[in-house]
Amino acid sequence: MAADEIEPSVEWRTVAVAAAVHGLWLATLALHAVTPWPLTVVVLGLAAAWHGSFQHETIHGHPFRSQRLNALVGSLPVPLFLPYLVYRRYHHAHHACEELTDPTDDSESFYVTAERWESMGRFPRAFVLAHHTLLGRLVLGPPWYIAGVLAHQAREIRRGDRELARWWSVHVVAAAALAVLVVVVVGVPWWQYLLGATYLGTSLTLLRSYCEHRWVDGATRSAMVRSGRFFSLLYLYNNLHHVHHADPSVPWYRLAAHADTTGGYDEAAAGAGLYRGYFELVRRFGVRPFDHPVHPTERLGTAA
C-alpha cells in the first residue's frame, strides 16, 4: 500500500459498517412480529451475509490494529454454525496456500481429486455436478457446506486438535445463548431464523464465492465480478477478489480504486475471469457447471 494510503489506527468507515450490520440484524429481530415472515427471512439472510463480509474484514486486520479487538467485534455467531476463530484459521490458510484451487492444499477449493471422483457412485457425481451450477450452489450449497464443515471439524477434533475443541466448546455455548435470546426472549420462530440467517445467509455468501477461484496455468486464479453498488456493499467489495488476494491488507473501501490503479481488472480477465455482474453468472452458469468438479491438473482420463 502506498504511503499516502496508510490507514489510521481506527478505520471509521468499517466501524460504521459494523454498526449498520448489527443494527440491521437487531432491527429485524425487534420488528419480526409486525413484519411479514418472508421479509423477515430475506432481511435476516442479507444481514447474515453482510455480517460474514464484515467478519472477513476483521480477519484481515480491520477496523482496528488490535487482532483481539477485531475478533471481539467480529465474533457474534449470527449464522450460528461456524466459530469465528475457526473461520479465521482456515481463511488465513487459504491465503497462505501455494496452490490456490488445489483440493489437497486449498481449504476453500470446490474442486475434488480424481481419486475421490472415481470413488463416487452415479448419484453422488450427479449431486456434485449440480453443486457446480450456480442454482445448485445456492440451493444445495448451504446444507452441503455446513455438513462438510461440521464433519471436517469433528474429524480434526477426534485426531487431537485441542485448540479446535476449545473453540467449538466456547462457540456452542455462545450460539446456544444467542438462539435462546432470539427464539425464547425475542420470540422469532426458530425456523424463520434458521431459514434466513443460516440457510439464506450462507447461500448469499456462496453466491459471492461461486466463481472466486478457477485454476489457470501461469495467471491469477482469483476472479473479479464488477458488480453494482448493492452487491459490492453486501460483499464489501470482496467480489473484486483478485485485488484482495494480491494485497489482503487493503480495506474494502479502497479495493475498487486499487483495482483501477494496479491493472487488476485486466489481470483477472487474463486469468480466472472478469465478469460484468452476478446476472452474467446467472445467465452463463445458472444450470451449467462453472467447471468440471475434478481439478484440471488431475482431469485427463477421468470418467464423466
Please determine, for residue 4, whether its predicted confidence score (pLDDT) is greater than 50.
Answer: no
C-alpha separations of 243 from 174, 258, 263, 264 in Å: 34, 7, 9, 6
Residue range 29-57: average pLDDT? 98
Q: Is 181 left (phi over 0), alpha (psi -120 to 50) or beta?
A: alpha
How confident is residue 8, by pLDDT bands cut at 50, 70 and 90?
Answer: confident
How confident is residue 9, by pLDDT bands cut at 50, 70 and 90?
Answer: confident
Please determine, for residue 2, whether its predicted confidence score (pLDDT) is greater than 50.
Answer: no
Residue range 250-276: average pLDDT? 97
How confident is residue 303, by pLDDT bands cut at 50, 70 and 90?
Answer: low
Distance, CA of 281 to CA of 274 (rounded, Å): 11
The predicted model scores a pTM of: 0.94
Please determine, for residue 301, whether its predicted confidence score (pLDDT) is greater than 90.
Answer: no
C-alpha separations of 293 from 114, 123, 124, 207, 290 in Å: 9, 14, 12, 17, 9
Model pLDDT, residue 43? 98
Grid-cell match 465480478, residue found: 225
* Phi and psi at residue 224, to the nearest 5°: -140, 140
User: Is residue 92 exposed (0-12), middle (13-18) or buried (19+ Cβ within 10 Å)?
Assistant: middle
Q: Which amino acid is at 240?
A: L
51-70 residue pLDDT tens: 999 999 999 999 999 999 99
List own/partner pairs for 126-130 with CB under 8 A and 24 or more apart: 128/293, 129/289, 129/293
204-228 residue pLDDT tens: 999 999 999 999 999 999 999 999 9
Per-residue b or e along 4-32, where b marks 16 or more CB atoms closer than 10 Å to that residue's CB: eeebeeebeebeebbeebbebbeebbeeb
Average pLDDT in the chain? 95
Of 215, 108, 92, the C-alpha closest to 152 is 108
Model pLDDT, residue 302? 60
Of 177, 167, 241, 245, the C-alpha closest to 208 is 241
236, 54 contact by CB (below 8 A): yes
C-alpha separations of 29 from 36, 37, 51 in Å: 12, 11, 15
How confident is residue 247, by pLDDT bands cut at 50, 70 and 90?
Answer: very high
CA 296 to mean position of chain CA atoms = 23
117, 125 contact by CB (below 8 A): yes
